[in-house]
């Protein structure tokens, strides 16, 4: 899929993405920080990939110019929120919690109960996509921790590209990494991670829509929206019509 030039920035994103495609994650992050500075932000769900990037960012961005935030849907696991505190203690990176306009209680009361069980796409849209759109206003680029091997949608992404959904540059420094690469990095650098990964949860989202994978399930996202055709919350799909 060809990468478009940035509509708002004087950057040839296609050429940049091709040049960085074989670069290390460290070099991709350095390029991002040097190019965008305080106009660069990062959304993290505290997955192993995101934690690996936070470790690198603590070195590449010692002045903490990059704003890092988490989309707190109100349905996150306790272990995920506790990991936020461990990241702050280890790296001095205070990950901001970005929330929807309504609390979970208000949201469910207004909709006659949990929306995740009846309309999971709308739940993701209102609890994650809308807050993200608001959070990235005023920024030129955002860092994502997706990997190509995670899903069909992610396999079609570029290392650097224009994100039509959110109208800014999207940087994917770990796009070419394997799951083995991620965990080798975490172990060798003693990066803090979510303890649920040791309990059969390779991918962790909101607790109502995440389960441990069963024996024999090889898809690392098999525990997300199990039993449904849904595999993405919508943040990283390439279909801008969802907005």
Is 3 a domain residue? no
Element (H, E) at 170: strand 168-171
Bridge partners of residue 237, in order along the sequence: none
The neighbour count for residue 1, using CB atoms within 10 Å, is 8
Sign, Cα dihedral of 98, 10, 242, 21: negative
pLDDT computed for residue 30 by the predictor: 97
CATH number assigned to the domain comprising residue 42 = 3.40.50.620
Residue 235 has pLDDT above 80, yes or no: no
Assigned domain for 243 exists: no
51 annotated as a binding-site residue: no
Q: For position 97, what pLDDT does the model report?
A: 97
Task: Give the pLDDT mean for 137-156.
Answer: 89
* 85 within a domain of the structure (yes/no): yes
Domain presence at residue 6: no
Residue 217 lies in a domain: yes
Model confidence pLDDT, tens digit, residues 184-224: 999 999 999 999 999 989 889 999 889 898 777 667 767 67
pLDDT over 60 at 154, yes or no: yes
pLDDT at 173 over 70: yes
Cα separation, 222 vs 226, whole angstroms: 6
> 193 is in which domain, residue-wise?
13-237
**Contact assessment for residue 95 and residue 69, using Cβ atoms and an 8 Å cutoff:** yes
**Active-site amino acid positions:** 233
- Please determine, for residue 240, whether its predicted confidence score (pLDDT) is greater than 50: no
143: part of which helix (H) or strand (E)?
A: strand 141-143
pLDDT above 70 for 11: yes
Which residue, among 164, 139, 152, has the nearest Cα to 241 in the 3D structure?
A: 164
d(CA 180, CA 202): 12
Specify whether the CB–CB gap between 20 and 28 falls below 8 A: yes
3-state secondary structure of 238: coil
User: Pairing relation of β-strands 168-171 and 141-143?
Assistant: parallel
Tell me, yes or no, whether 208 lies in a domain: yes
> Is 181 part of a structural domain of the chain?
yes
If one counts the domains in the chain, the total is 1
124 is in an annotated binding site: yes
Residue pair 137/82 in contact by the 8 Å Cβ criterion: no
Residue 168 in domain: yes
Tokens read off for 155: 């396999």
CB atoms within 10 A of CB 103: 11
């Amino acid at each position: 899929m060809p990468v478009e030039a940035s509509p708002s920035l004087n950057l040839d994103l296609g050429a940049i993405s091709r040049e960085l495609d074989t670069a290390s994650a460290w070099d991709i992050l350095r390029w991002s920080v040097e190019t965008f500075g305080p106009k660069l932000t990062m959304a993290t769900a505290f997955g192993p990939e995101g934690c690996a990037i936070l470790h690198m960012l603590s070195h590449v961005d010692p002045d903490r110019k990059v704003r890092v935030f988490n989309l707190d849907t109100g349905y996150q696991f306790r272990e995920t929120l506790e990991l936020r505190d461990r990241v702050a203690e280890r790296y001095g990176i205070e990950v901001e919690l970005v929330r929807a306009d309504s609390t979970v209680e208000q949201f469910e009361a207004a909709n006659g109960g949990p929306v995740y069980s009846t309309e999971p796409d709308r739940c993701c849209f209102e609890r994650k996509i809308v807050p993200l759109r608001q959070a990235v206003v005023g920024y030129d680029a955002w860092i994502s921790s997706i990997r190509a091997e995670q899903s069909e949608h992610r396999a079609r992404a570029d290392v650097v590209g224009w994100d039509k959904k959110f109208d800014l540059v999207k940087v994917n420094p770990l796009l070419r990494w394997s799951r083995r690469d991620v965990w080798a990095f975490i172990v060798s650098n003693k990066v803090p991670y979510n303890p649920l990964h040791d309990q059969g949860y390779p991918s962790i989202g909101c607790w109502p829509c995440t389960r441990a994978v069963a024996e024999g399930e090889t898809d690392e996202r098999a525990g997300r929206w199990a039993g449904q055709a849904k595999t993405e919350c919508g943040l990283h799909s390439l279909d801008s019509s969802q907005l």
